């Protein structure tokens, strides 16, 4: 199975900050990487697909990038509504595997 190592697990940040979350894939997954945002009591919301593409309705302060087997989600100018848990997902092969999640919280 492909392991997705996500870091950090917790990320205290201030409003207006620029933050980056990273997932490292244990095998080649190409660009079959998605990022999800999950708020308490809600289902995950697709933010980024194809490693770098913004999903419909997602604010432009969110962006995705790739460097080799490292995939990153960056949020520019953090807003209060961005406080949530973020997960990466590889869907290059089955079984699909998620990162362990990053809890973004106000410092």
Which residues between 53 and 72 bind other proteins (CB under 8 A)?
A: 55
The two three-digit tokens of residue 77, written as one number? 């100018």
Count residues near other proteins (CB under 8 A). Answer: 20
Give the residue, chosen from 2, 7, 17, 101, that forms a contact with other proteins under the rule CB under 8 A: 101
In this structure, the chain runs to a length of: 107
**Residue 35 touches other proteins, criterion: CB under 8 A:** no
- Name residue 5's beta-bridge partners: 24
Q: Cβ distance 7 to 13 under 8 Å? A: no
Which phi and psi (to 5°) does residue 82 adopt? -85, -10
Q: Cβ distance 12 to 106 under 8 Å? A: yes
| Residue 24 vs 76, nearer CB to other proteins | 24
**Residue 49 touches other proteins, criterion: CB under 8 A:** yes
**Residue 87 touches other proteins, criterion: CB under 8 A:** yes
Q: Kindly list the residues in this chain that would bind other proteins in the complex (CB under 8 A).
A: 34, 36, 42-46, 49, 55, 87, 89, 91, 94-101
């Amino acid at each position: 199975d492909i392991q997705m190592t996500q870091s950090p697990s917790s990320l205290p940040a201030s409003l207006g900050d620029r933050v980056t979350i990273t997932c490292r894939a244990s095998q080649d997954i190409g660009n079959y990487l998605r990022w999800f945002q999950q708020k308490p009591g809600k289902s995950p919301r697709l933010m980024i697909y194809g490693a770098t593409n913004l999903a419909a309705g997602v604010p432009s302060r969110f962006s995705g990038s790739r460097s080799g087997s490292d995939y990153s989600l960056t949020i520019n100018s953090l807003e209060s509504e961005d406080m949530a848990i973020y997960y990466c997902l590889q869907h290059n092969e089955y079984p699909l595997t998620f990162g362990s999640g990053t809890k973004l919280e106000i410092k």
